[in-house]
Amino acid sequence: MRTACGDRSHQRPAAAAPRGPLNHDRLMEASHTRLSAAADSDVEHEALVAARILDNPRDFGRWESQHAGIMTRVIVERFRDAQRYELLNQALVLVHRKALFEYLRDNAVRGNERVRLIRHFFQHREYSRAIVTEHTNYLHSAASYMCSTHVGTRVLLDEVFDDPLFQYEQLYSEYFRVHCNLVANPDSNASIVLAPMLGTLRRQVADWRQALIALAHSRSGIWRTPVELLRRLQQGDGG
């Protein structure tokens, strides 16, 4: 199977049964372990993110403080199901936060198109400052996403943080790509095709998110795609 963040080409320790109750120190320890492992990852963007944070004590301190806040939101929940849902909720937020810079990076966006996109998302910020801020946000969000999915799969031992979340991440990336293409080229002929495509992708993202939340709340723990979930709901079985 694949991780929710990149290809699982690096070696990771085998999952073990949870060691007693969760606490904040345990979640942070698991997060530090994942970030350190990412520095040696064969996945280039993982290694770059980890190196940028680990090699700069100031950046590391800021990231650690922000990530500790995320883990606090998880641990304050008393019951494991609620902790699982909150961790999933935080992971989804991180998927969205890191999407813009990933789009700029993966599509090699430069020049006027890059300026137009940044001004669209940061209307009240000066361009160069917005770029620096967004890059920092990307680094912190990408690092916390790696660590959060690691906590989900290796500490909570929960399937929702593996392939299901990975598939949501890919779907959201496609939705965001189409959205950015429309923003950057509003008057192009391609917008005739992209506009209805964006609506379809928006609905698919919403459906997939609903399916993830259903899995987080599921008694059976069985992953069902949005189509399967809808069929079961229509049959009166929320499973």
Per the listing, tokens 């990231």 go with 63
- Measure the CA–CA gap between 53 and 143, rounded to whole angstroms: 8
pLDDT for 48:
96
pLDDT for 186:
75
- CA 11 to chain CA mean position, Å: 21
Residue 226, H or E segment:
helix 226-234
- Measure the CA–CA gap between 52 and 64, rounded to whole angstroms: 13
Q: Which residues of the chain have pLDDT under 70?
A: 1-21, 219-221, 229-239
Is 171 in contact with 25 (CB distance < 8 Å)? no
Nearest to 48 by CA among 39, 61, 37: 39
Residue 153 is classified by DSSP as I
pLDDT for 14:
38
Is 71 in contact with 91 (CB distance < 8 Å)? no
- CA 225 to chain CA mean position, Å: 18
pLDDT for 230:
59
pLDDT in tens, 188-229: 777 777 888 999 999 999 999 999 998 888 766 677 777 776
